[in-house]
Structures are given as structure tokens and as C-alpha cells.
């Protein structure tokens, strides 16, 4: 049997996990959700959610993954052989593939808009038509499909090279680069005339907009952003060596992800205000509003505006890729370990499956827009299914598994590396309490209230 791969260093572990976490969720979703629920007040709730509810889930997944050194299905079978927990293993092999299918559509859009930026299509004299560009593009048939295919192909290519030569190498370069890029874009955005209003929006809380919905949205967003409940963190953790400090890498990942989301907020919102647009303009924010802003701002400083637009869509594309590879890796680990496929075959099989579902998701913006599943287009159905149900159920079950099914001594052993990490030992009672009680009870409550509401 071939030796299982491991991430080469602590930096590699954090970069890969942060790579999975930092993605479209941070740049594309976070700013518009913040816009919808009242700026700084929502960010506050979001931060609390991240550390009190999502971090315990992340730790639950890493504990299971690192303990067994197996993918989701194998891990569940190893820790609870012959029980119904294997269904959680199977569910979490499937759910990242559903996410990957519609995620690739948006990944494809980022690629397309990077090409548009490179072709200098966002010009001051066509600022108004730039806003319409996205609608026309996404509802057309061929270009979005081609771009999605390119995105999926790049994903498969990185995954094909394996954990060290593919995932680790890509994340180690992309994550630092992403941070540099987002800081440059945020500086540009904050120096635009009229941007002050946007900055104020992000730092001055408006508690009146914190409806009960906002809490569910914060929780859902933090699961999505930290890639939780779908086995990605579990699978990555299965490549972590026994002597790594998983409490530290989990907390580090959550911290970097949050930092990046906030920086993305500062990159997007001030520009939105500078252009005089209301912040809650939905998912189109990044693909409609931002190109409009680049075009409009180009009037005075064409070169700077063109460069920033290229950097912006490059950032989205790279961030999306570092996440999509983690989704595909879950399925690859399953096919390689459980079905004894070669990595090469596993990657091709998953590429083809996601391509088929991805094509349907992409066409649901155009020719298939009338096909409705429970009242949703195919794309929205996959998104809702994954982020409202699969992620929450997965997250809940992972914490229940670690808190209630696994032996407490084993959990402590894993978190403290057999008692060697003293600081983790001291924090263990708090972490265990969060995993066993706080996370499952709160998540279940928010989930049920959401279902009833
Ligand atoms: N965390 C990623 C993002 O923010 C999305 C993701 C979800 C990645 C689930 C892996 C698994 O874009």
C-alpha cells in the first residue's frame, strides 16, 4: 500500500486549511450579507458565532480526521464500526460535491470577469452598460459553461498532483498573495472620494437591523466560510501529522478567515458607497456593482482602475480555487481509500460528475431558468440544500459525535497530543464544553427556529 501523504509543516497545514476557508464566501457572500443585516452589528454577531459555535465544529472535524488519518467515510467506520454513523461519512462525501457543482459556476464567472478586466472592458464611457454585462453573460449558454469548465479543470489539475505537490504547494503561494492583493484593493477602495461613508458603515453598529434572521444568517455564513459540516476540514486534518497542534491550527484558520472576510468588506463596501449604491444589492454586488465602479472611477485614473479590476477578479479566482480543491479532495480521498481507485482515475471521475451537475446549475441562469426544484432554480436549490441543510446537519452531527459518541479521554488525547501540549490541556475543559453542549444545542435551536419560521 502506498504511504499516505502528510502536509509538510505547520505553515502548510494552516495555509491549506485557510485556503479551503478563504473563498467566494469571504469576498462574494460576506459583504452582501453584512450589507443586508446592518453592517458592524452583524459583524459582531458573526465574530461571536465563529469562535463560540464554528470553531468547536472545526475542532470536532479535525479531531476525527487526525485521529483516524482517513477520509470522512473511513474515519466514521474506524471510530464507530458497524453503526449508522457511516451515513454521516457518506453524506459528507456527497455534500462537498453538490457545493462544488454550483461553486464552479461562480468560479467560472470570476474567470470570465478576469478576462473582461484584462480585455479592458470596464471603461468610463460604458459604465452604465457594464452593470448589465453580468445579467447578459450569466444568462447566456456557452461562455459561462466554458468558463466553468476551465475552473473545474484547474481544480482537478491541482488535486491530481496530490496533497503535497498540488494542494499544499498551491495554498502556500496563494494565501499570502491573496492577503497582499486584498489589502491593496482595500486601500484603493478606501481612498475613493465618498468612501468614508462605507467605512463608517462597517465600523458603526446598527443594532435595529439585527432581526432573528440575522443570527441564522451569521451562523450559516460562518459554516460556509469555514468550510464546515461537509467533511473538508476532516479530510484535510487526516493529512496532518500526529505532532501538530490542532487547536492552534484550527484557531489560526478561523482567525485568518475572519481577517480576510473583514478585509474583503473594506475592499467592497467603501467602493460601493463611493459609487452611491445601496449596500444590500445581493449576490450581484461583486459582478455588477464592482465592474461599474471600476468603469466609473476609470475616468480620472484609467490605469490604476484597470489594474485594480484585474487584481480584484484575480483575487476572487485564486481564492475560489483554493477552496474548490478542498471540496474535490474529499471525494478523491473516498475513491482512493474506499474504492481503491488511483488518484488519477478518482480525479477524472469527480471532474465528470461535478461537470454534469455544474452544467445544469449554470444553465439555470438561462435556458433552464424555468426548471424549478421546490420553487428554486437548480443553482439556488443546490445552494439552499447545501448551506441551509447539509452543512448544518453535518456540523451538528460532527459535534455530537465528538462530544457524545467518542470517548472523552480519546478526544483529550487527540487535542493535546497525548498530554504533550500543556496549553491545550488547560483549555480542554472549555473546548470540550463548547463541543459537547454549547455548539450542538445552539445550532439545533437556530436550525429548528429557522425551519419553523
Ligand atoms: N469556505 C469556502 C468559501 O468561503 C467554501 C467552502 C464550503 C469550501 C464548503 C469547502 C467546503 O468560499
Q: E strands along 158-269, which residues? A: none
Residue 1 lies in a domain: no
Q: Are 27 and 319 in contact (CB under 8 A)?
A: yes
Atom of ligand 1 nearest to the CA of 257: 4
| 2 located within any domain | no
d(CA 432, CA 452): 30
CA distances from 225 to 102, 175, 220, 232, 440 (A): 15, 15, 8, 12, 19
Contact partners, residue 382, CB within 8 Å, separation at least 6: 98, 99, 101, 102, 357, 361
pLDDT at residue 288 in the model: 84
With the C-alpha atoms ordered 340, 342, 347, 353, is the resulting torsion angle positive or negative? negative
Residue 280's SS3 state is coil
Give the H/E segment covering residue 134. helix 127-139
| Helix orientation angle between 289-297 and 302-337, rounded to the nearest 10 degrees | 150
Going from the Cα of 426 to the center of ligand 1, the distance in angstroms, rounded, reads 31
Residue 4 lies in a domain: no
pLDDT, residue 299, reads 63
CA distance 10 to 16: 10
**Is 29 part of a structural domain of the chain?**
yes
Atom 9 of ligand 1 has which residue's CA nearest to it? 227
- What's the pLDDT at 366? 93
Residues of the chain predicted below pLDDT 70: 1-3, 279-283, 298-300, 453
What pLDDT does 1 receive?
44
CB of 24 closer than 8 Å to CB of 327? no
CB-based contacts of 337, cutoff 8 Å, min separation 6: 70, 71, 73, 74
pLDDT at 279: 67
Ligand 1 centroid to 435 CA: how many Å? Answer: 21
Among protein residues, the one with the nearest Cα to ligand 1's atom 10 is 227
Q: Does residue 66 fall inside a structural domain?
A: yes
- CATH code, domain with 394: 1.20.1740.10
In a domain, 302, yes or no: yes
Enter the pTM of the model. Answer: 0.95
Q: Which residues line ligand 1 (CB under 6 A)?
A: 20-21, 23-26, 96, 99, 224-225, 227, 230, 232, 323, 326-327
- Cell 460535491 sits at which residue? 97
How many domains does the chain fold into?
1
**Cell triple for 84:** 449508522
Residue 443: which domain range?
10-452
Q: How buried is 198 (Cβ within 10 angstroms: 0-12 exposed, 13-18 middle, 19+ buried)? A: buried
275 burial level (CB within 10 Å; 0-12, 13-18, 19+)? buried
Q: What does the mean pLDDT of the chain come to? A: 92
Does residue 5 fall inside a structural domain? no
Specify if 256 maps to a domain: yes
Amino acid at each position: 500500500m502506498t504511504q499516505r501523504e502528510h502536509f509538510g509543516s505547520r505553515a502548510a497545514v494552516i495555509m491549506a486549511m485557510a485556503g479551503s476557508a478563504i473563498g467566494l464566501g469571504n469576498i462574494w457572500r460576506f459583504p452582501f450579507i453584512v450589507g443586508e443585516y446592518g453592517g458592524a452589528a452583524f459583524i459582531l454577531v458573526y465574530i461571536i458565532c465563529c469562535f463560540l459555535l464554528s470553531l468547536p465544529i472545526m475542532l470536532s472535524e479535525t479531531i476525527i480526521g487526525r485521529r483516524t488519518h482517513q477520509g470522512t467515510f473511513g474515519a466514521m467506520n474506524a471510530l464507530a464500526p458497524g453503526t449508522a454513523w457511516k451515513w454521516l461519512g457518506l453524506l459528507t462525501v456527497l455534500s462537498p460535491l453538490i457545493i462544488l457543482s454550483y461553486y464552479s459556476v461562480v468560479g467560472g464567472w470570476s474567470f470570465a470577469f478576469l478576462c473582461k478586466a484584462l480585455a479592458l472592458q470596464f471603461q468610463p464611457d460604458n459604465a452604465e452598460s457594464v452593470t448589465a454585462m453580468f445579467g447578459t453573460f450569466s444568462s447566456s449558454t456557452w461562455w459561462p459553461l466554458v468558463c466553468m469548465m476551465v475552473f473545474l479543470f484547474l481544480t482537478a489539475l491541482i488535486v491530481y498532483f496530490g496533497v503535497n505537490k498540488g494542494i499544499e504547494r498551491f495554498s502556500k503561494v496563494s494565501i499570502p498573495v491573496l492577503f497582499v492583493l486584498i489589502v491593496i484593493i482595500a486601500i484603493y477602495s478606501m481612498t475613493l472620494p465618498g468612501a468614508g461613508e462605507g467605512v463608517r458603515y462597517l465600523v458603526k453598529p446598527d443594532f435595529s437591523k439585527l432581526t432573528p434572521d440575522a443570527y441564522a444568517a451569521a451562523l450559516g455564513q460562518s459554516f460556509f466560510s469555514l468550510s464546515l459540516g461537509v467533511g473538508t476540514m476532516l479530510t484535510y486534518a487526516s493529512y496532518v501529522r500526529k505532532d501538530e497542534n490542532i487547536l492552534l491550527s484550527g484557531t489560526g484558520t478561523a482567525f485568518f478567515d475572519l481577517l480576510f472576510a473583514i478585509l474583503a468588506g473594506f475592499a467592497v463596501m467603501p467602493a460601493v458607497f463611493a459609487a452611491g449604491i445601496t449596500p444590500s444589492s445581493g449576490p450581484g454586488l461583486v459582478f455588477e456593482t464592482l465592474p461599474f465602479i471600476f468603469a466609473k472611477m476609470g475616468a480620472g485614473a484609467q490605469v490604476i482602475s484597470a489594474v485594480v479590476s484585474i487584481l480584484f477578479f484575480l483575487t476572487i479566482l485564486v481564492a475560489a480555487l483554493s477552496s474548490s480543491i478542498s471540496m474535490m479532495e474529499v471525494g478523491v480521498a473516498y475513491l482512493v481509500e474506499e474504492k481503491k481507485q488511483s488518484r488519477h482515475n478518482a480525479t477524472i471521475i469527480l471532474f465528470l460528475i461535478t461537470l454534469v451537475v455544474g452544467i445544469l446549475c449554470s444553465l439555470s441562469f438561462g435556458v433552464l431558468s424555468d426548471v424549478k426544484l421546490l420553487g428554486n432554480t437548480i443553482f439556488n436549490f443546490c445552494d439552499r440544500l447545501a448551506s441551509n441543510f447539509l452543512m448544518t446537519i453535518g456540523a451538528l452531527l460532527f459535534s455530537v459525535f465528538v462530544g457524545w459518541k467518542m470517548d472523552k479521554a480519546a478526544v483529550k488525547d487527540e487535542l493535546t497530543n497525548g498530554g504533550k501540549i500543556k496549553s491545550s490541556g488547560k483549555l480542554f475543559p472549555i473546548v470540550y464544553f463548547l463541543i459537547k453542549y454549547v455548539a450542538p444545542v445552539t445550532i439545533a435551536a437556530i436550525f429548528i427556529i429557522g425551519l419553523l419560521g
